Structure formats: structure tokens, C-alpha cells
Amino acid sequence: MSDIKVTRSVTVTNCEGLHARAAASVAGLVRRFESRISLVKNCERAEATEVLQLLSLGAAQGEELRLEATGQDAEEAVEALVRLFAGNFAEDGGHSNQ
């Protein structure tokens, strides 16, 4: 059985970018999946379970990130991440229209 590989792009719409609380939300979400998941900005790669690596990307509002997942639940994991980004990391105060 081979692993599934899924790649999608997302745009950071949260006005504070991928800050600490948002990075913790990403890491917490991806820990529920078995797939190996990375976020890529330009040529920089961060393991999605590692908050400090996610923060090191310095992803600001309006920047595009590539989601890469490999594993049996890769599609489900990427879809969940896309929803998290689209919902501004479930932060009510994260206005995206500034």
C-alpha cells in the first residue's frame, strides 16, 4: 500500500499572520492525523507539528503557504488545514479585511 501525497496552497488571511496561537492551532490539528504534514513558504519548510518551526516561517497576512501531506489520511488532513486557514484559525478577533 503506497502513501497518498497531497499538496494545496493557502493564503494567510489572519491580520496577525501565523502567530503563536495560530501556529499552536495548526500543530494541534495535524497531530490528530497520521500523515506527515509540512508547510512551505518559498523554499523554507516547517513540520506542521512543531510550533517553533511554524513561527520561523514568518508568514504574514497575504502570504501564500504550500501544504504538503503524505500518508493514508493526507487528503483529510489537508482539507482540515484549509478550513482552519480559511476560518482565520478560529479566532473571532482575526479580521482579514484590514
Separation CA 55–CA 83 (nearest Å): 19
Cβ–Cβ < 8 Å for 79, 47:
no
Catalytic-labelled residue, pool 19, 81, 85, 89: 19
Q: Decide if 95 is catalytic.
A: no
- Ranges of beta strands (E only) in 12-76 are 36-41, 44-47, 64-71
The set of catalytic residues is: 19
